[in-house]
C-alpha cells in the first residue's frame, strides 16, 4: 500500500487529495485507489503551493493514522517543462525538486492538467462516462483524449506492459478545416475580424469559439438576435477588458440552445458541435485509438443534451472511405469533473526512483 498526494491546481481553485493506492489490480489493470482526505482551496489566498499543502496535510493528520504521502503528482493549468511550471493565471513558480525538499515527499512530479486528464480517463467507471459509440474496444491500442474548454486540449495514451504513458499535443492549434459553405464563410469572417493569416481549430472549438460563431451568425444577420441575448451581448461587450465580469456569454448561448429558447443560439451550438465532432474525427484518424476516444473538458458536460443529438457523431464519422474504421472506435464523453484529480493520483502511483 502507498499513500499518494494528488493535486488539481488552477488559477482560481486547487483541489488536494490523499489517496491510498493498493496494487490489487482493478478490471482495467490499474491499482485500486481509495480517497482518504480531500480539500478545496482558493489558490490566490496562498503565496505558493507549499503552505497550502502543509495546511492540507496538517488537517489530514487530525483524522488519525499515518497519512504521510510517499509520492505526489500535481496537475497544473499551464505548461510544464522539465518538471517546472510558471502558472498562467497565478503568480506561482513550481519546481518538483523544491516541492520534494520542502514538503519532504520522496517522489514528486508536475504534469499539465490535460495530461492529468489523459491518466484520469483510465480510471473512469461506466457511471463516469456517456457512450456515444460503443465500437470494438482493444485494450492494447492507443487512447485519444480531446477536450474543449478555455482552449482545445488533445492528447493520447499508450499502454506499455501493464503501465501507461500519456502524451500531450498541441493539436488544438492545427488549421480549422471548414466542411460546409457556412463554415467557409466563418473562416473568412475570422480571418478578417482578427486580421490573421490562419485560423486554428481552437478558435472555433472552445469557449471563445462559441462566442465567435455567435458573433459571425449575428453580424452577418444570418439569423435574427433575440432581445434577451441582445441585452446579454451588450453587457458582455461592455465588460471586455475588465477584470470582474458578470456575464459568461458562451455559457448563456449554450443554456439558451439547450432550452430551445433562442434560434440563433441553437444554430450557433449546432455549428459548434459539428466542428467539435469533425476535429475529434481528425484526431481519431491520426491515432487510430481503438482503445477509445474520450471527450473531456467542461463544455461537453454542460452541453451533454446537444452532444447526444447526433451532430457530433455524424461529423466524427464523415470521413469518406475511412468511415468504416471510425465506426470501430469507442467514443465516450467524460462526465466526472474530477477526472484530472483522479489522473494525478494514478500518475503518482506510477512514479519510481530512477
pLDDT in tens, 36-82: 999 999 998 999 999 999 999 999 888 776 788 999 999 998 888 89
From residue 175, how far is each of 94, 98, 187, 274, 279 by CA, in Å? 32, 39, 10, 16, 10
Task: Kindly report, residue by residue over 92-134, the tens digit of the pLDDT.
Answer: 999 999 999 999 999 999 999 899 999 999 999 999 999 999 9
- Same domain flag for 120 and 26: yes
**Residue 158 domain flag:** no
pLDDT bin (cut points 50, 70, 90) of residue 16 is very high
Residue 146 β-bridge partners:
154, 295
User: How many other CB atoms are there within 10 angstroms of residue 67's CB atom?
Assistant: 17
Confidence (pLDDT) at 344: 95
Band of pLDDT at residue 21, cut at 50, 70 and 90: confident
Residue 154 lies in a domain: no
CA distance 226 to 327: 39
Say whether pLDDT at 3 is over 70.
yes
* Nearest alpha carbon to residue 6 among 157, 162, 113: 113
Residue 139 covered by a domain: no
For 261, which DSSP code?
Answer: -
Q: Establish if 141 belongs to a structural domain.
A: no
* One domain for residues 116 and 181: no
96 shares a domain with 201: no
**Same domain membership, residue 316 and residue 229:** yes
Same domain for 196 and 96? no
Q: How many residues does the chain have?
A: 354
Mean pLDDT of 283-312: 96
| Together in a domain, 238 and 312 | yes
User: CB count, 10 Å around CB of 158?
Assistant: 15
Distance CA 350, CA 21 (A): 10
**Region 341-352: what's the mean pLDDT?**
91
Among residues of the chain, what percentage have pLDDT more than 70? Answer: 97
Based on the fold, state whether residues 180 and 88 are members of the same structural domain: no
Pick the residue with more confidence: 217 or 244?
Answer: 217
DSSP code, position 132: E
Matching residue, cell 435574427: 224
Residue 25 has pLDDT above 70, yes or no: no
pLDDT of 183 over the 90 cut: yes
Q: Cα separation of 273 and 279, whole Å? A: 10
239 pLDDT band (50/70/90 cuts)? confident
How many domains is the chain partitioned into structurally?
2
pLDDT at 253 over 60: yes
Whether residue 285 is found in the same domain as residue 215: yes
Whether residue 316 sits in one domain with residue 200: yes
114 and 251 together in one domain: no
pLDDT of residue 87: 81
Q: Where are the beta strands (DSSP E) in the chain?
A: 2-9, 13-25, 31-42, 71-76, 84-86, 93-95, 107-112, 129-133, 143-148, 152-160, 163-168, 293-296, 331-334
State residue 164's pLDDT score.
87
User: Which CATH number does the domain housing residue 176 bear?
Assistant: 3.40.367.20
Q: What is the CATH number of the domain that holds 31?
A: 3.30.420.40
Q: pLDDT value at position 74?
A: 96
Residue 153 lies in a domain: no
Q: What is the CA radius of gyration of the chain?
A: 21
218 and 119 fall within a common domain: no
Whole-prediction pTM: 0.91
pLDDT > 90: percent of the chain: 75
Is there a domain that residue 155 lies in?
Answer: no
Residue 56 lies in domain:
2-124+337-350
Mean pLDDT of the chain: 92
Residue 306's nearest CA partner among 228, 253, 244 is 253
Count the neighbouring beta carbons within 10 Å of the beta carbon of residue 304. Answer: 13
Same domain, yes or no: 230 and 322: yes
Between 267 and 162, residue with greater pLDDT:
267
Q: What is the DSSP string of 183-242?
A: HHHHHHHHHHHHT-S--BGGGTSSHHHHHHHHHHHHHTTSSPPPHHHHHHHHHHHHTTT-
Is position 166 within any domain? no
The C-alpha cell 465516450 sits at: 332
Establish if 54 belongs to a structural domain. Answer: yes
Amino acid at each position: 500500500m502507498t499513500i499518494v498526494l494528488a493535486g488539481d491546481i488552477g488559477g482560481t481553485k486547487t483541489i488536494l487529495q490523499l489517496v491510498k493506492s493498493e496494487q490489487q489490480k482493478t478490471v482495467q489493470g490499474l491499482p485500486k485507489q481509495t480517497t482518504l482526505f480531500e480539500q478545496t482551496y482558493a489558490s490566490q489566498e496562498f503565496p505558493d503551493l507549499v503552505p497550502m499543502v502543509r495546511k492540507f496535510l496538517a488537517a489530514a493528520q487530525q483524522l488519525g493514522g499515518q497519512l504521510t504521502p510517499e509520492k505526489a503528482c500535481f496537475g497544473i493549468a499551464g505548461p510544464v517543462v522539465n518538471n517546472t511550471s510558471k502558472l498562467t493565471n497565478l503568480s506561482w513558480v513550481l519546481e518538483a525538486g523544491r516541492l520534494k525538499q520542502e514538503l519532504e515527499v520522496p517522489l514528486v512530479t508536475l504534469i499539465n492538467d490535460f495530461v492529468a486528464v489523459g491518466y484520469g480517463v483510465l480510471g473512469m467507471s461506466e457511471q463516469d462516462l456517456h457512450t456515444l459509440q460503443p465500437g470494438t474496444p482493444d485494450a492494447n491500442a492507443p487512447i485519444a483524449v480531446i477536450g474543449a474548454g478555455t482552449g482545445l486540449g488533445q492528447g493520447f495514451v499508450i499502454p506499455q506492459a501493464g503501465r501507461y504513458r500519456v502524451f500531450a499535443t498541441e493539436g488544438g492549434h492545427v488549421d480549422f478545416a471548414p466542411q460546409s459553405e457556412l463554415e467557409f464563410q466563418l473562416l473568412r469572417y475570422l480571418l478578417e475580424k482578427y486580421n490573421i493569416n490562419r485560423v486554428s481549430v481552437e478558435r472555433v472549438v472552445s469557449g471563445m469559439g462559441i462566442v465567435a460563431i455567435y458573433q459571425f451568425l449575428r453580424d452577418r444577420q444570418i439569423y435574427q438576435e433575440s432581445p434577451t441575448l441582445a441585452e446579454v451581448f451588450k453587457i458582455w461587450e461592455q465588460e471586455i477588458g475588465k477584470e470582474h465580469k458578470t456575464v459568461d456569454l458562451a455559457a448563456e448561448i449554450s443554456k439558451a440552445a439547450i432550452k430551445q429558447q433562442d434560434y440563433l443560439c441553437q444554430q450557433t451550438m449546432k455549428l459548434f458541435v459539428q466542428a467539435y465532432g469533425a476535429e475529434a474525427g481528425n484526431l481519431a484518424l491520426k491515432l487510430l485509438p481503438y482503445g477509445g476516444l474520450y471527450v473531456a473538458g467542461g463544455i461537453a458536460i454542460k452541453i451533454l443534451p446537444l452532444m447526444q443529438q447526433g451532430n457530433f457523431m455524424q461529423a466524427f464519422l464523415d470521413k469518406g472511405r475511412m468511415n468504416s474504421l471510425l465506426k470501430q472506435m469507442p467514443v465516450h464523453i467524460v462526465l466526472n469533473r474530477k477526472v484530472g484529480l483522479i489522473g494525478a493520483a494514478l500518475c503518482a502511483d506510477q512514479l519510481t526512483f530512477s
